[in-house]
Chains A and B, each alone.
Chain A
Amino acid sequence: MSEREVLELLRENARYSTADIARMTDLEEDEVEAAIEELEAAGVVRGYQAVVDWDKLEDERVRAEVELNVRLDRETGYDDIAERLARFPQVTALRLVSGDYDFDMEVEGDSIREVSQFISEKVAPVPEITQTVTHYVMTSYKENGIELGDGEDDERLSVSP
């Protein structure tokens, strides 16, 4: 169970030190390290990334959500198509979903032109793909559970009963 607890804390903040995780739990520091190693070795934890508010940066970052519809045949399943798409570095997330379309794909690039070109030249021509609908992200309000607004100031009295 220690792995579960450590995982929860890493999901909250992957930069907690192992010493701090140990302080927050009943675990010793070396147990925390072992749990993290185990999570990584088992492929449960696949990486650690920063949650970025792109609006706060000068340089433009274009992101799009793309709905994909596909037609399967005897030789080609969802996994085959997914594997092929996922290899493109422009694709940042790819999920098979229920509902009106099949895949939900997130794409990133430096410009609208670059992203459009990627969709029209690399994605749309894939023979099994029958339709793409591209939604450019205009503003992001929440990423990975973190609200991107200006946040609320702590208005509490500094000392209270």
Chain B
Amino acid sequence: MTFDLSERVQTVPPSGIRRFFEIAEERDDVISLGVGEPDFATPWAARDAAITSLEQGRTSYTANRGKRELREAIADYVADRFGLGYDPDEEIIVTAGASEAVDLAFRAFVDPGDTVAIAQPSYISYEPGVIFAGGEVRSVPTKEEDDFRLTVEGLEEAGADEADMLVLCYPNNPTGAIMTADDLEPIAEFAREHDLTVLSDEIYAELTYDGHEHTSIASFEGMRERTIVFNGFSKAHAMTGLRLGYALGPAEAIHAMNKIHQYTMLSAPTTAQHAALEALDSCENDVREMVNQYDRRRQFVLSRFREIGMDVFEAKGAFYCFPEVPEGFTAEEFAEAVLHEQGVAVVPGDVFGAGGEGHLRISYATGLEDLREALARIEAFVEEHA
């Protein structure tokens, strides 16, 4: 018999990332610029705190919303870093990665038939998340000429004014684009005018360069009450495998998300919560040092692409840049050929949705030696095919 799969699951196509992963895994000489997570280990102090918590036998569930101490630390941190005010008791929920928080939000706020506008290219989980929740996706492409920032014209062109919800991710995966306060202001205005709920994935908030500081859309007037902010420890604190994130929002919204969370997750991983508390307490310098390293690599990679003669916009956030593929290739053709011929794995931009075609996502969450070698191989490839 064939198993009776739900329509929702069948609607979602297999991930384009998975395909490249499978090819890359077949060979052992591949240098990967396709990795979407830090190459650093979690700061030792955080790991040490996790170990200590295990030694002390702290392995029970925590409160559904996460340890109170951690929620307080998160409230202090977001107030301090981004000027955001959230009540640790009512307005913060700790989740198994930002991924869980995003899923909770779709399930808590999307009804069948609701339209969710997604600024793209963007992280690949939003679209399936909307579909699993029964909603409909409206892609809002961003453009290279705007440095992949979201604009009101873009929103209007895509018909986002008719949507119920808008999903943003800045600093952006896959482009490395950021949105400054000036860039966000008109978007906030648009959201207020068209009564959109905003889901803002700010997991790369710590990773901004060139003197830019992250601004949250929730910090604009009239936005806090309509926005859910997602953040977590995976990127800035290099804690991907510990699976810890959180959502911030108005009490009513967080309460609804917690309703799902308490039945489906119960509580986020306890050991990870201990690590996260320590990460916020004492790992500021580790984060700064990692950001410093990413910034050097960013400049290195951008310089090399320009030397190679591939157009690349000046990405100022996350750990990605998004060069254009040379003429004569689609992104997918380029990515496949450079993997086969040179053993360099990159991800074609179109897997991240509208606006990504013709580009490659290059992750520089990789040591400089590997970056140097990978760029040399890409250079050889481009010269050969010019």
Chain A residues close to B by CB (< 8 Å): 9, 13, 16, 20, 22-26, 152, 154, 156-161
**Within the complex, what minimum Cβ distance (angstroms) separates B239 from chain A?**
13
Which among A22, A152, A158 has the highest number of chain B CB atoms within 10 Å? Answer: A158
Q: Are A25 and B35 touching (Cβ within 8 A)?
A: no
* A47–B296 CA distance with the chains assembled, in angstroms: 24
List residues 13-38 of chain B with CB under 8 A from any CB of chain A.
15, 17, 20-21, 24-25, 30, 32, 34-37
Residues of B within 8 A of A22 (CB): 303
Residues of B within 8 A of A158 (CB): 21, 24-25, 30, 32, 34-35, 345
Residues of A within 8 A of B125 (CB): 161
Q: Are B296 and A159 touching (Cβ within 8 A)?
A: no
Size class of the contact patch on chain B: 20 to 34
* A23–B21 CA distance with the chains assembled, in angstroms: 30
B282 within 8 A of A: no
B124 within 8 A of A: yes
* A158–B35 CA distance with the chains assembled, in angstroms: 6
Q: Are B39 and A156 touching (Cβ within 8 A)?
A: yes
Residues of B within 8 A of A26 (CB): 299
Q: Are A24 and B36 touching (Cβ within 8 A)?
A: no
* A156–B240 CA distance with the chains assembled, in angstroms: 10
**Which residue of B30, B124, B299 is within 8 Å of A24 (Cβ)?**
B299
Residues of A within 8 A of B123 (CB): 161
Known contacts A24-B296, A154-B39; A160/B34 CB under 8 A = yes
* A23–B304 CA distance with the chains assembled, in angstroms: 8
B347 within 8 A of A: yes
Which among B39, B299, B345 has the highest number of chain A CB atoms within 10 Å? Answer: B299
Q: Are B124 and A161 touching (Cβ within 8 A)?
A: yes
B58 within 8 A of A: no
Q: Are B21 and A157 touching (Cβ within 8 A)?
A: yes
**Which residue of B297, B304, B347 is within 8 Å of A159 (Cβ)?**
B347
Q: Are B34 and A20 touching (Cβ within 8 A)?
A: no
Residues of B within 8 A of A161 (CB): 15, 17, 36, 123-125, 173
* A152–B345 CA distance with the chains assembled, in angstroms: 21
Residues of B within 8 A of A160 (CB): 17, 21, 34-37
Q: Could you give, for residues 34-67 of chain B, a 1 whenever the CB lies within 8 Å of some chain A CB and a 0 otherwise?
A: 1111010100000000000000000000000000
Known contacts A158-B32, A161-B124; A25/B37 CB under 8 A = no
Of all chain A residues, the one with the shortest Cβ separation from B347 is A159
Q: Are A24 and B300 touching (Cβ within 8 A)?
A: yes
B372 within 8 A of A: yes
Residues of A within 8 A of B300 (CB): 20, 23-24
Q: Are B32 and A159 touching (Cβ within 8 A)?
A: yes
* A22–B32 CA distance with the chains assembled, in angstroms: 24
Which 8 pairs, one residue from A and one from B, show the smallest C-beta to C-beta distance? A159-B34, A23-B303, A159-B21, A24-B296, A158-B24, A158-B32, A23-B300, A160-B36
Q: Could you give, for residues 305-320 of chain B, a 1 whenever the CB lies within 8 Å of some chain A CB and a 0 otherwise?
A: 0000000000000000
**Which residue of A20, A25, A154, A156 is within 8 Å of B372 (Cβ)?**
A20
